[in-house]
Amino acid sequence: MERVYKFFLHPTRRSEYQQIDDEDANNNLSKSGVEKNFVPKRFPQYLATFIATIGTFSHGNSLGWSAPALPNIEKNGDFENFKSNSDIATWIGAITLLGCFFSGFFVGIVVQRIGRKWTLLANGPIFIVGWLCIAFAPEVEWILAGRFITGFCGAGTTLTVLIYVSEISEANIRGTLCNAIGLAAGIGTLTTTALGSYIPWNTLSFINAFIPVIFTIGVIFIPESPQFLLAQGKVNQAITSLKWLRGATSYEEIRDEFNSIKARKEKKDVKFSELMCASVLKPFGICLMLMFFQQFGGIKGVMFYSVDVFKYAGTNIDANLSAITIAAVQVFFLFLSTLTVEKWGRRNSIMFSELGMALSLIALGVYFYLKENVDQATQNLGWLPLTSLIVYVLCYNLGVGPVTWTLMGELLHSNGKGLTSSITTAFSYGMAFLITKLFIDMQAALTSYGCYWFFASVSFLGFIFCFVALPETKGKNLLEIQQIFAKDRLRD
């Protein structure tokens, strides 16, 4: 019973129960034959990841809210002269991404100052406030405020969870656990899309406010990242945290991994000159490019026309059901990605994804070109846009969608990771916001098929970039990944 108590007790309290200082740890190194064949337990890592990804589930709720809610607001006449295709409605849809953009700049710094766990705990209550602003909104402006808050907290939570999960997981399951972050967000989007099609928008918002409550309570019981604790000089707590995460009972069992974490110890205060080296700038540049190819790979444009694609295929599915179907397909393929990322590798997954997206976008462009320029040419081609849509969603969610974020958690150097991850996150959501707001203007300037061909060309360039510049990180611990970029310094 005492052993069970020690295992589940909160790590900070456990450090009081069992103190291990540096001298004791070093003495342990000299002991031989102490469970040399220790196999780390995976359940604690799965449990910590599951609790953390409840926050990204809530982020998915926020991203999926506007699709069913805006038509519902218009139908019920809750706000005078509100139209689901009006400018204010587009702002309700897009302002969440604006909140995500500002969150990227702020949270990445905070997570390095107060830690991964405390950042998650701080986000939870603010998330609740955002949803309640929407649920009890007397005016549209309250919805805008609530959407901005939920976007801010959602992106901040996702970024923090990504850093946290990449640091607590073993190398051979890190890809799977990091991909679970995107899967949780996808399930959140599907849940909100499905529920929102059948219940009032304010009831939906009130239900969504309960998710951060569960999330906040759960985070209390998971440990802080050992890497962050080491950066703060809290060696005893770092050892206790790693023992909890690996299900270990002695320091000897985690000695090798703990030494590896110490070797890539995150600096508490990093000088600007220390960031001006290849080991920091190269992975940072790669992550920025991956985010560019992700956002300009056409996901917003394809989803914008997804309901029309179902109509062209000759189906009689209404708009709500088609949105639910697309969200369900995305979740299914995100689940497949979670299963395959450790088998295929990150590099292969993204290259396959980029190439498949490019080909399916070309096919969609051809269909829309024929439909707009050649009479009767698409009469018997209703299957083409639907097939292309399914292939596109498959390819995006097997690679570019989730694996891009996984790579951000793996590639960025521990020195200045808060800064580089915050810039990368803000860059991604900033582009998503611009594309969401400007897509109709892009379509007017380039035509629908022109937009698809533009996105196809970007995806093909993404394939070339990954082939040339992206290293494989499958099976490597974070120290080994860091050493890939450690050869050529730009400034000593």
Q: Are residues 391 and 487 in the same domain?
A: yes
pLDDT of 492 over the 60 cut: no
**Whole-number pLDDT of residue 351:** 94
Report the chain's C-alpha Rg in angstroms: 24
pLDDT of 377 over the 90 cut: no
Q: Alpha carbon 360 to chain centroid distance?
A: 24
**Whole-number pLDDT of residue 271:** 56
Q: How many CB atoms lie within 10 A of CB 350?
A: 29
pLDDT of 3 over the 50 cut: no
Quote the tokens at residue 147.
Answer: 């959407």
Contacts of 214 (CB under 8 A, 6+ apart): 54
Residues 313-331, mean pLDDT to the nearest whole number: 75
Q: Are residues 237 and 186 in the same domain?
A: yes
Q: Are residues 201 and 311 in the same domain?
A: no
Q: Are residues 85 and 153 in the same domain?
A: yes
In a domain, residue 21? The reply is no
Give the least confident one: 243-257, 308-322, 363-377.
308-322
Q: Are residues 262 and 278 in the same domain?
A: no
Q: Tell me, what amino acid is at 319?
A: A
In a domain, residue 4? The reply is no
In a domain, residue 143? The reply is yes
**Whole-number pLDDT of residue 1:** 40
Extended beta strands in 275-332, E state: none
Per-position b or e across 382-400, b if 16+ CB within 10 A of its CB: bebbbbbbebbbbbbbbbb
Residues 335-356, mean pLDDT to the nearest whole number: 88
pLDDT of 33 over the 70 cut: no
Q: Cα–Cα distance between 345 and 342 in angstroms, integer?
A: 5
Q: Which ranges in 374-416 belong to alpha helices (H)?
A: 383-395, 401-411
pLDDT of 211 over the 90 cut: yes
Residues 232-252 pLDDT 10s: 889 999 999 999 999 998 888
CATH number, position 165: 1.20.1250.20
Quote the tokens at residue 133.
Answer: 């602003």
**Whole-number pLDDT of residue 436:** 77
Residues 327-346, mean pLDDT to the nearest whole number: 86
**Whole-number pLDDT of residue 197:** 83
Q: Tell me, what amino acid is at 320?
A: N
**Whole-number pLDDT of residue 386:** 81
Task: Tell me which residue range forms the domain holding 173.
Answer: 41-268
Q: Which of 64-73, 145-154, 468-477 has the highest mean pLDDT?
A: 145-154
CA distances from 190 to 65, 185, 303, 331, 370 (A): 10, 9, 14, 8, 33
Q: Are residues 244 and 288 in the same domain?
A: no
Q: Are residues 233 and 307 in the same domain?
A: no
Number of structural domains (the chain) is 2
For residue 343, count CB atoms less than 10 angstroms from its CB and return exposed for 0-12, middle for 13-18, buried for 19 or more.
exposed
In a domain, residue 286? The reply is yes
Contacts of 335 (CB under 8 A, 6+ apart): 183
Q: Which ranges in 169-225 belong to alpha helices (H)?
A: 171-196, 201-208, 210-219
* Kind plus residue range of the DSSP H or E element containing 228: helix 226-231
* Kind plus residue range of the DSSP H or E element containing 126: helix 116-135
Q: Are residues 134 and 216 in the same domain?
A: yes
Q: Which of 107, 192, 216 is nearest to 155 (CA)?
A: 107
For residue 102, count CB atoms less than 10 angstroms from its CB and return exposed for 0-12, middle for 13-18, buried for 19 or more.
middle
Q: Cα–Cα distance between 363 and 376 in angstroms, integer?
A: 17
Domain end position, chosen among 234, 268, 302: 268
Q: Are residues 292 and 236 in the same domain?
A: no
Helix, strand, or coil (residue 42): coil
Question: pTM of the prediction?
Answer: 0.79
In a domain, residue 10? The reply is no
Q: Are residues 292 and 433 in the same domain?
A: yes
Q: Cα–Cα distance between 452 and 255 in angstroms, integer?
A: 52
Q: Are residues 162 and 221 in the same domain?
A: yes
Q: Cα–Cα distance between 368 and 448 in angstroms, integer?
A: 7
In a domain, residue 300? The reply is yes
Domain end position, chosen among 226, 247, 268: 268
The larger pLDDT score, comparing residue 288 to residue 3, is at 288
Query: Using N-to-C axis directions, what is the helix angle for 401-411 and 417-446, rounded to 10°?
Result: 150
The pLDDT > 90 percentage for the chain reads 35
Domain end position, chosen among 268, 296, 325: 268
In a domain, residue 472? The reply is yes
CA distances from 9 to 13, 50, 156, 207, 220 (A): 7, 18, 27, 31, 11
Residues 109-130 pLDDT 10s: 888 889 999 999 999 999 999 9
Contacts of 252 (CB under 8 A, 6+ apart): 28, 29, 31, 34, 35, 38
In a domain, residue 200? The reply is yes
Q: pLDDT band for position 85 (50/70/90)? A: low
Q: Are residues 166 and 191 in the same domain?
A: yes
